[in-house]
């Protein structure tokens, strides 16, 4: 299993290289997933293989504490995620600019990375991106308390047996992350990226939100944050655009990367 | 390479991924589904793909195999579909090598 030690943490990484190279975008495409129960597989099932098939090199990784990456006790703020990504690209010897595709919290990381290392980002695709994580830890904590009290009210073992191996394992992972690491405290301590810093970003940005998403308000504020951003709001979709509107999203991302490639290839 | 040989390889990898203890009562056959039967986590399917690519090298093209599939098509796949694909590709590459 491909593993890389980055920023002192063992990260699970998958690189997809196409079997044939056509109009190859010069820069790799790096996918950053969301928080909690998410991991790189949400990209593997949706966007990663089609992007690799166009001739681009794809890099996917599990954030620390997620998927098959190590779950250290601490280091779950956005700054840690940004440092992990920088160290990962260093370890992979990817020195030039990359295209970042971030979903939900992955979008927050992409934005944090771009303001910290503007020269390392060729473009960004932000899917349902959070511009801040304010209030997020509280939501996760409330959800944990709800699940905890549900479990306390019934027979936990039969409840888990009913859910089967897959969900039980995901819940156990999330429980470990929430209860045995500084995950929630780290998230609570995150300071939003100042608008003045976001405004300094010059790389092309494509943003996609679901019409009924709980974070669609960010889309309305995009003009203020990122004046050059190109926005699509997908009708009928909620927050899980990646799963619910995969075909539409795939088209948007492939078009976007093709445009970026044509810009850099004379 | 026959589908039976590929199935034997895939079975070993799957038991490695889901754990021998859980695999004990399972008969992994061509008709077994990753989702409903094995309850494979999505990330474990990614791991399987990586193991297959490492094992068979560039004789198979998992990127191409999955690129045109929808999320539901991938989730609903049987072990047999993956095995048939791999066996077919390996036969094709071997044939090209012999011709050359």
Report the largest interatomic distance among the alpha carbons of chain A, rounded to a whole angstrom.
65
Which residues, at least 6 apart from A104, have a Cβ–Cβ distance to it below 8 Å?
A33, A34, A35, A38, A127, A128, A129, A130, A215, A239
**CA–CA separation, B50 vs B54, rounded Å?**
6
Tens-place pLDDT, residues B38-83: 989 999 999 999 999 999 998 999 888 998 898 889 989 999 999 9
Ordered by where they begin, the domains of chain B are: 3-99 (1.10.1200)
CA dihedral B10, B12, B16, B18 (to 10 degrees): 60
Phi/psi region, residue A65 (left: phi>0; alpha: psi -120 to 50; beta: rest), is left
Q: Which tokens go with B72?
A: 């539901």
Q: Is A41 in the B-facing interface, judged by CB distances under 8 Å?
A: yes
Q: Is A189 in the B-facing interface, judged by CB distances under 8 Å?
A: no
Which residues, at least 6 apart from A63, have a Cβ–Cβ distance to it below 8 Å?
A32, A33, A35, A39, A69, A81, A84, A106, A109
Which residues, at least 6 apart from A84, have a Cβ–Cβ distance to it below 8 Å?
A6, A7, A9, A11, A63, A64, A75
Tell me whether residues A68 and B43 touch, CB distance under 8 A.
Answer: yes
pTM of structure: 0.90
Q: Is A246 in the B-facing interface, judged by CB distances under 8 Å?
A: yes
Q: Which residue has the higher pLDDT, B23 or B34?
A: B34
Q: Which is nearest to A30 in space by CA: A167, A149, A124, A159?
A: A124
Q: Which is nearest to A256 in space by CA: A54, A85, A82?
A: A54
Tell me what pLDDT residue A173 has: 86
Q: Which residue has the higher pLDDT, B99 or B30?
A: B30
Q: Is residue A174 a contact partner of residue A36, using CB atoms and an 8 Å limit?
A: yes
Using DSSP, state whether A85 is helix, strand or coil: helix
Tell me what pLDDT residue A99 has: 98
Tell me what pLDDT residue B20 has: 85
**CA–CA separation, A128 vs A219, rounded Å?**
9
Question: Roughly what angle, to the nearest 10 degrees, separates helices A136-153 and A156-179?
Answer: 150
Tell me whether residues B66 and A62 touch, CB distance under 8 A.
Answer: no
Nearest Cβ partner for A41 among B39, B42, B51: B42
User: Which pLDDT band, with edges at 50, 70 and 90, does B100 fall under?
Assistant: very low
Tell me what pLDDT residue A50 has: 94
Q: Is residue A14 a contact partner of residue A61, using CB atoms and an 8 Å limit?
A: yes
**CA–CA separation, A86 vs B5, rounded Å?**
42
Tell me what pLDDT residue A146 has: 64
Tell me what pLDDT residue A144 has: 64
State the ipTM, two decimals.
0.87
C-alpha distances in Å from residue B13, one per residue of A42, A72, B17, B18, B51: 22, 27, 6, 9, 7
Tens-place pLDDT, residues B84-98: 999 999 988 776 655
Share of chain B above pLDDT 70, in %: 94
C-alpha distances in Å from residue A1, one per residue of A12, A20, A67, B14, B55: 8, 24, 13, 14, 12
Tell me what pLDDT residue B97 has: 56
Interface probe with A: pick from B24, B36, B63, B65, most Cβ of A within 10 Å: B63
Q: Consecutive sets of 10 residues in chain A, 266 residues long: mean pLDDT of each?
A: 92 83 71 93 95 93 96 96 98 95 95 96 94 71 63 53 76 86 90 87 95 86 83 93 95 96 68
**CA–CA separation, A234 vs A244, rounded Å?**
10
**Residue appearing with tokens 């009562």:** B25
Tell me whether residues B71 and A45 touch, CB distance under 8 A.
Answer: yes
Residues of A in contact with B70 (CB under 8 A): 246-247
């Amino acid at each position: 299993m491909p593993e890389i030690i980055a920023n002192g943490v063992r990260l699970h990484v998958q690189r997809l290289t196409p079997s044939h190279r056509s109009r190859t975008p010069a820069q790799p495409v790096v996918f950053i997933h969301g928080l909690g129960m998410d991991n790189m597989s949400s990209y593997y099932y949706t966007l990663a293989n089609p992007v690799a098939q166009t001739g681009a090199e794809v890099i996917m990784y599990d954030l620390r504490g997620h998927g098959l990456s190590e779950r250290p006790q601490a280091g779950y703020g956005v700054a840690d995620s940004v440092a992990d990504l920088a160290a990962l690209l260093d370890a992979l010897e990817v020195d030039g600019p990359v295209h970042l595709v971030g979903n939900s919290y992955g979008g927050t990381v992409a934005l944090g990375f771009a303001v910290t290392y503007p020269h390392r980002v060729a473009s960004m695709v932000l899917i349902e991106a959070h511009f801040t994580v304010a209030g997020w830890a509280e939501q996760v904590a409330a959800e944990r308390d709800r699940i905890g009290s549900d479990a306390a009210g019934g027979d936990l073992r039969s409840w888990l047996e009913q859910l089967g191996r897959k969900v039980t394992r995901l819940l156990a992972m999330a429980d470990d992350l929430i209860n045995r690491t500084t995950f929630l405290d780290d998230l609570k301590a995150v300071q939003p990226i100042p608008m003045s810093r976001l405004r300094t970003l010059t790389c092309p940005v494509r943003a996609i939100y679901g019409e009924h998403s709980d974070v669609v308000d960010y889309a309305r504020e995009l003009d203020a944050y990122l004046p050059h951003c190109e926005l699509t709001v997908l009708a009928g979709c909620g927050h899980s655009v990646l799963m619910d509107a995969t075909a539409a999203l795939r088209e948007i991302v492939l078009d976007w990367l093709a445009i970026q490639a044509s810009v850099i290839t004379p | 390479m026959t589908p039976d040989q590929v199935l034997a390889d895939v079975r070993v990898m799957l038991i490695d991924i889901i754990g021998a203890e859980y695999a004990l009562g399972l008969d992994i056959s061509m008709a077994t589904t990753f989702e409903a039967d094995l309850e494979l986590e999505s990330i474990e399917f990614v791991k399987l793909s990586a193991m297959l690519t490492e094992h068979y090298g560039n004789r198979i093209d998992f990127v191409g195999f999955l690129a045109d599939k929808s999320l539901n098509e991938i989730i609903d796949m049987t072990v047999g579909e993956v095995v048939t694909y791999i066996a077919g590709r390996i036969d094709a590459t071997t044939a090209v090598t012999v011709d050359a």
